[in-house]
Every structure is written in structure tokens, then in C-alpha cells.
Amino acid sequence: MGRREQQVLEDYIVQHNLKITKQRRSVLEAFLGSEDHVSAEELYKLVTEKEPKIGLATVYRTLNLLTQSGLASELDFGDGQKRYEHKFMHSHHDHLICTECGKIVEFTHPMIEKLQEEVAIRQGFKLTSHKLDLFGLCAECS
Amino acid sequence: MGRREQQVLEDYIVQHNLKITKQRRSVLEAFLGSEDHVSAEELYKLVTEKEPKIGLATVYRTLNLLTQSGLASELDFGDGQKRYEHKFMHSHHDHLICTECGKIVEFTHPMIEKLQEEVAIRQGFKLTSHKLDLFGLCAECS
DNA sequence: CTACCTGCAAATTATTTGCCTTAAC
DNA sequence: GTTAAGGCAAATAATTTGCAGGTAG
């Protein structure tokens, strides 16, 4: 499990004069082991299996740390809570979401990306990121 | 100001055995008169200028009504609150958002839409909606 | 008159913060 | 030994809900 990610996190922690703790290790481990798109609450449930005394606030704090260190990115599927996915060794992609069963398919489409860039340039913008979510019904739910 | 939208709302209200009230009229009027992308709180401030005794909860309730009746759609730019835009007589579009000054440019790109449709079909999905937000720096903020 | 609607306050939900104790370095 | 981190409970912030009185149909 994620040697490399462990290293990224520890580098970030050292560079920022922070401390490496077993809680942070546990959260990272559970996060890497999870499916993508976990919420803080879900991750908390996963972590407590290994680390029963951990507090929910620590999970939130660690998720922010992971986001700042570049290991996680925040997602928002409009269900009222933030979700997180790991970014390291996991390239950019967009989401296709079934509104019935919640299934999520990840995809990338270079041409779409290229056209987005064009739109931005045409408006004088310098693009830093984007978010594309497609909503619909998957094969089973149609 | 928005005769047609008034009609859409009133039709919806009648069809659902609901009641037309001056608060609902005031919220709709303020909503149509507002710039796009208002939050509930912002709309509340606008409405109270004309209707000082209205409650915030009524604004929330009416925004939900407007969303259900098809006059408004919910947006989420990740700032922790829902925003709303009017949909009627205002065709679909995506957003290009300056992360520095908050400027929002609306755009549509038929080719992007077409490619999205292709992605969905390839995955066996039937597309119902999508959300594309581009984030970057506008000309002034670069 | 019979729902539905409103305003208000209290409740909820997701997340953050304060504080005091504990553990890294 | 400092100083940051953790746990817990209390604080926030956005939104929703319960209720008693008001009003549209």
C-alpha cells in the first residue's frame, strides 16, 4: 500500500514543520485503500476499523492536509457533502454519474479538454482547472 | 418584468394545488430582476427591499418551488452555498469562472455537448444533464 | 371554511474551532 | 522542552422543519 504516497505526505509534512502521527498514517492508508469518491464520514468509518479512538475532526483535518499536499482533490456531486479522490498516480478525469443507482464512471476525453482550452482563450482566460460532470441513467437503470 | 415566467409559475402552482401569494410573487420578481447566480441569502436581501416582512425560510421554500417548476436551476461553484439562475427563456450554458475576482462568463459549445453525448452513449448511459465549469484567471486578473 | 402558506424559532447537517491533554521531534 | 496534533464538545453556516396563526381559493 502506497509507499510513494506515504512519501509525498511525509515530505509535505516535513517541509511545513508539521508532525507525522499514527492518525495521519491511518487516515492516508484508509483513504488509499478506499474506493474513490469517499466522503469524510465514510472515511471516518473506514479509519475507525483500524484506529477506533480517532476523532471525526482529525479525519476532516487530515483530508484538508491531503488536499493541500496534492494527494487528494475535493469533489462535489451536489449531494450536500464534499467527497475526495486520490490524485497521486491517478491522472485527471471527469465523471459520468448515474442519478438512479449512484454508479460513477470516470472518463477522459482529450478533444473535450482541447475545446475547453479554446473557449477559455477566446474569453481571455488562463485556465487552471475544470470540472465536468455528466448526469444520466446507466444501462441497468434505464 | 417577466409576464411569461409569472405564468409558468402560476400554472405550476395551480396544477399542484398550491397557492399564489404575494411573497411568492415578490421572490419571483426579485429573482428575475437579479443578476444570475444569486444565493438564497442575496435574494433574501433583494426581496426584503420590496417586502420587508418576508422570512428567509420563505425565500428558500420559494427557490425550491421555482426549481421544481422548471424556472430556476441550482448551481454550485464550490463556495459552500447553492446559487440559482433563471432557466426560462435562457438556454443552457456552461460557466467560465475567474477564481480571483469571481467574474463569470457564460458560454455554450455545441461540439463539446456533442462529444459528451458520445461519451455517455459509449458507456451505455442515457444523458439527462451535465455541468461543466471552467476555472481560471480572467484577462484583468492574470 | 379548509388547506396551504408564512414567519419565527428550533432542528439538522456538514464542517470547523477552542481548549486542554498528549505525543512528535 | 517546545510546539503541533488529537479528542471532545461547542461553535458555525447553510438549509430545513415544526408549529400556531394568517390567508388564498
B53 DSSP assignment? T
Determine how many CB atoms are found less than 10 A away from the CB of residue A11.
11
**Spatial distance between the Cα atoms of A70 and A8, rounded to a whole number of angstroms:** 9
Q: Rounded to 5 degrees, what angle do the CA atoms A103, A107, A113 make? A: 140
Mean pLDDT of chain A, nearest integer: 90
Please determine, for residue B107, whether its predicted confidence score (pLDDT) is greater than 60: yes
Which residue in the block uniquely carries the three cell numbers 485527471? A92
Domains by residue range for chain B, with CATH: 3-86 (1.10.10.10), 94-136 (3.30.1490.190)
SS3 label, residue B137: strand
Q: What is the pLDDT of residues A99-128, one digit of tens each?
A: 888 888 999 999 999 999 999 999 999 998
Strand C within 7 A of A39 CB: yes
Which pLDDT value is given to residue B89?
61
Which pLDDT value is given to residue A2?
61
Percent of chain A whose predicted confidence (pLDDT) is above 90: 59
pTM of structure: 0.76
Please determine, for residue B136, whether its predicted confidence score (pLDDT) is greater than 80: yes
Q: Strand D: list protein residues with Cβ under 7 Å.
A: A 13, 17-19, 21, 23-24, 51, 53-55, 57-58, 61-62; B 19-22, 39-41, 56-57, 60-61, 64, 80-82
Tell me whether B90 touches chain A (CB under 8 Å): no
Closest nucleotide C1' to the C-alpha of B62: C5
> A16-49: b or e for each residue (b if 16 or more CB lie within 10 Å)?
eeeeeeebbbbbbbbbbebeebbbbebbbebbbe
Tell me whether B81 touches chain A (CB under 8 Å): no
Could you say which of B109, B115, B134 has the minimum Cβ distance to residue A127? B134
